[in-house]
Structure 1
Amino acid sequence: MMMRRRLFSLGGTAVYLHLATVLCGVYAVAVGHGLTTAIAFLSIILHETAHGLTAALFGQAPQEIELTPLGALMRLDDEQDLSPGIRLIVLFAGPVASFLLCWISILLTKTGVCSTVIGQRFFMCNLMLTMCNLLPALPLDGGRILALILGTRLARDTVKRIMQCIGTVIGLGCIGLNLYISLVHGGWNLSCAMAGCFFMYAGATCTTSAALAELRMFIDRKQRLESRGIMPCKWVAVTDNTLLRQALTRLAPCAHTVFLLAGTMDHAAPVFLGEDALIAAYLNDPTGSCRKLFADPERVDSD
């Protein structure tokens, strides 16, 4: 991406800097909020680091971290491979870390390690970070936790509709609060209203059709594998009556997957095909089975 630059690699994790972060930092210093902005940014980085370290403990280290004006955005390519229980632990790690940093700031201030001004700002930044991240709205930790819990009991489309309603309610609440503060106390600080619009947008986009969401996932996977150069291959055997959706759940996270399709009845010779052919067949017919790949060998070969 043209708007970001790679800084360094930490183990297998690439660290990027978004250019807008530099502009925001310069602006914050120019208007006299450099210290608060630096403390807030550091707090968010520590928050995201807690997520990353916890995920790494369970064998899913983040592939990249991008430093943006909103803080550090962590990317876990294989998050879906984690069990719901472990994903909950990873999601809770950030708010727990921010809450602990509140107490650490109190301790450091009382012992004289840091000044009262820095201690107070560090405490308030992490307290707000903890409270805001536990709001049940996407894409915050609280929203992802709620969506994960609901997903264990309800259908995915139902969860999406619920999260959209919650995001809309919280978003409208933020906008209303911002208007109230502006009218009663004066001033035009629109940060709360902007956050409300963001929550409403995030809630709306979570209802994007499953087909489009999966298409984005497959495109992202293809780009990710291509960027890594020569990749190992993993062989996976499936039968012709296996649903395409079920077969694609066996895609290897960090390797190109080659499928061996074995016939269960009238197909003697197995069919070998790459993951691109299976993905194309699934996007064309999400409810279909692998049997159609035997019936249309020319299309499979062309893919």
Structure 2
Amino acid sequence: MKLGILFGINIYINKLLVILIAIAIILGEGTRLAVVFLVVFIHEMAHVVMARALHLRVLEIELLPFGGVARIESFLEVNPRDEVYIAIVGPLSNAILVLGCMALEKLGLIPSKDYDFFIQANLMLAGFNLLPAFPLDGGRILRAILSRELGIKRATRITTIGGFALALFLVMTGVYAIYYGIFNPTLFIMAGFLAYSALKENRMATYVMVRDLTYKKDILIREGAIQARELVVLYDLPLKEVIKKFVPHRYHSIVLVDEQLRPRGYLTEKDIVNGLMDYGLNVPVFRLLAQSSRMRG
């Protein structure tokens, strides 16, 4: 649901958040709802400010039950270091709000009755988002760190497992609460959204990885240079296993060897991408040698 446009950025609110808002109003928690909404919005705007500071264009913001998502144009061009910066600044903004609120309360500039809940809202949002589960900020940070060694696909798989685990924990907590006579629909709504987001990202992992390969040409043209990384692989290894070893923002050269570690040939990342398009994921990598020789000849 679209709320409007701010600084050229489309602002949307997730349907599940609309449901939570309706529940809060019915329960007479309108004031607290406004505080939470403000905290979430500031958290998300911190992501936007950092993205723009890194010269990235933010297309839209979607406000979610546990924070939000800032969608960045050509997000695959974001290197892992910048992804960490963008993710960490959200919880950091909540920490700054807490410290600022504590200072104002000490000076007697804000009443204590409004102070406690504002502090709690910021701490809960920051703490929850720092959990290492995708799509939370902590999951994005972990994925960026892991992708340097494991590649974007494997790193995404690992962090989405964290998302599923957190969703299961929330469901179990909700069921446990019901057993003791307490029904909290928020737990089930958030669990459902986390599981859906993790499943969606998991299915997109292969697509994201292949798109990352094609974007490296754009990065090279724009920046003039890109760091290289060499891999040594068995000559009969399937292409799908080779590309799992690729990491973001590195251009790979591949040395093919046999079981006695004797060199059988050399390929570039471009050769691998062309092979994927021509032969698919399951072809052994040595099949690309003849094609590569013809292209170079």
* TM-score, normalised via structure 2 length: 0.65
Name which of 123, 126, 134 aligns with 1:138: 134
Partner of 1:75: 71
**Residue 196 (structure 1) aligned with residue 191 (structure 2):** yes
After superposition, the Cα gap between the structure-2 partners of 1:54 and 1:173, relative to the gap in structure 1 and judged at 3 Å, is same
> How far is 1:286 from its partner?
6.0
**Residue 98 (structure 1) aligned with residue 94 (structure 2):** yes
- Code of the aligned partner of 1:90: I
Deviations 1:11-45 (A, max 9, x none): x4334566876775465334310111110110011
After superposition, the Cα gap between the structure-2 partners of 1:159 and 1:121, relative to the gap in structure 1 and judged at 3 Å, is same
Moved more, 45-54 or 169-178: 169-178
**Residue 8 (structure 1) aligned with residue 5 (structure 2):** yes
> How far is 1:62 from its partner?
1.5
> How far is 1:180 from its partner?
2.4
SS at match of 2:217: coil
> How far is 1:101 from its partner?
1.2
> How far is 1:198 from its partner?
3.1
Counterparts of residues 1-303 of structure 1 (less than 5 Å) = 3-5=1-3, 7-10=4-7, 12-16=8-12, 25=21, 28-67=24-63, 72-184=68-180, 186-208=181-203, 210=205, 246-250=213-217
Looking at structure 1, the residues matched to 14 and 160 of structure 2 have their Cα atoms a distance apart, in angstroms, of: 29
Moved more, 140-149 or 155-164: 155-164
SS at match of 2:190: helix
- Code of the aligned partner of 2:100: I
- Code of the aligned partner of 1:200: A
After superposition, the Cα gap between the structure-2 partners of 1:9 and 1:123, relative to the gap in structure 1 and judged at 3 Å, is closer
Does the 8 A contact of 2:77 with 2:215 survive in 1? no
Does the 8 A contact of 2:61 with 2:69 survive in 1? yes
* TM-score, normalised via structure 1 length: 0.64
> How far is 1:157 from its partner?
3.6
SS at match of 1:137: coil
Unaligned runs of 5+ in 2: 220-272, 282-287
Does the 8 A contact of 1:108 with 1:119 survive in 2? no
> How far is 1:98 from its partner?
0.7
Looking at structure 2, the residues matched to 142 and 95 of structure 1 have their Cα atoms a distance apart, in angstroms, of: 9
SS at match of 1:153: helix
Q: Name the count of aligned residue pairs.
A: 234
Does the 8 A contact of 2:91 with 2:130 survive in 1? yes
- Code of the aligned partner of 1:8: I
Unaligned runs of 5+ in 1: 218-244, 253-278, 296-303
Partner of 2:231: none
Higher relative contact order (CA 8 A, sep 6+): 2
> How far is 1:75 from its partner?
1.6
Identity of counterpart residues, as a percentage?
A: 26
Q: CA RMSD in A?
A: 3.5
SS at match of 1:64: strand
- Code of the aligned partner of 1:46: I
Looking at structure 2, the residues matched to 14 and 132 of structure 1 have their Cα atoms a distance apart, in angstroms, of: 25
- Code of the aligned partner of 1:35: T
> How far is 1:163 from its partner?
2.4
After superposition, the Cα gap between the structure-2 partners of 1:177 and 1:99, relative to the gap in structure 1 and judged at 3 Å, is same
- Code of the aligned partner of 1:189: N
Does the 8 A contact of 1:99 with 1:126 survive in 2? yes
- Code of the aligned partner of 1:4: K
- Code of the aligned partner of 2:51: A
Looking at structure 1, the residues matched to 195 and 16 of structure 2 have their Cα atoms a distance apart, in angstroms, of: 23
> How far is 1:105 from its partner?
1.9
Does the 8 A contact of 1:211 with 1:283 survive in 2? no
Higher helix proportion (structure 1 or 2): 2
After superposition, the Cα gap between the structure-2 partners of 1:87 and 1:4, relative to the gap in structure 1 and judged at 3 Å, is same
Looking at structure 1, the residues matched to 194 and 17 of structure 2 have their Cα atoms a distance apart, in angstroms, of: 21
After superposition, the Cα gap between the structure-2 partners of 1:109 and 1:160, relative to the gap in structure 1 and judged at 3 Å, is same
Deviations 1:132-175 (A, max 9, x none): 00111111000111111111111344323322432232222222
Does the 8 A contact of 1:79 with 1:87 survive in 2? no
